[in-house]
Amino acid sequence: MNHVTAVLDVPERLACRVLGQNRSTQRKRRRTADDEAALTQAVIALAKQYGRYGYRRITALLHAEGWACNHKRVERIWRAEGLKVPPRQPKRGRLWLNDGSCMRLRPERPNHVWAYDFVEDRTRDGRKLRMLNVVDEFTRECLAIRVARKLNSLDVCSSCAGSPGTSARTMDQSSWPPR
């Protein structure tokens, strides 16, 4: 603002009106605390040490270290420094072991690993339509598509229990229950 008023030789009121700013924003100077730089360094150090912690947990750690600061100040520093918490890695598990570890089964040949998924849509009159898709993960071939208004666990089991190469036509609602 000072630059505009000096170069164009216009009063502050006119410059503020043209630029769309309140005059009160030009009066008050921002005060920074004496310990701002040290607090910023402490926030950055804790963020590096605890990578999965957000600004709220970092605030709690700062309080434990003896800093007198609130969460809003830490959040402002957090945003100014461009700190972010990395997103969690998704858990990809098909076979869970008792010790809590996850062993993902990789497809090695056709018909080795199948995956199923539900897709839901609505008809024009608002009624629900569900589709069960069974896919071979090695060939990416769709083995079965079962469409019904309601699909229960027996439908899923019968679709997955079909022999390899069974088409979706032979696995429709009329084939269940077996006679």
Q: Domain residues of the chain, as ranges?
A: 1-28, 31-88, 105-175
Q: In angstroms, rounded to a whole number, what is the distance separating the alpha carbons of residues 51 and 62?
A: 15
Region for 111 from its dihedrals, namely left if φ exceeds 0, alpha if ψ lies in -120 to 50, beta otherwise:
left
Per-residue pLDDT of 81-101, as tens digits, reads 988 887 777 766 555 555 554
The DSSP-derived string for 40-91 is HHHHHHHHHHSTT--HHHHHHHHHHHT----HHHHHHHHHHTT--PPPPPPP
Contact between 53 and 91 (Cβ < 8 Å): no
Question: CA dist 124 to 42, 127, 143, Å?
Answer: 58, 7, 28
pLDDT band for 179, please (50, 70, 90 cuts): very low
Predicted structure pTM score: 0.41
Q: In angstroms, rounded to a whole number, what is the distance separating the alpha carbons of residues 166 and 61?
A: 59
- 8 pLDDT above the threshold of 80: yes
Per-residue pLDDT of 41-90, as tens digits, reads 999 999 999 888 899 999 999 999 999 999 999 999 999 998 888 777 77
Rounded to the nearest 5°, which phi and psi values hold at 164? -60, 135
Contact between 139 and 165 (Cβ < 8 Å): no
CA proximity to 83, closest of 38, 31, 41: 41
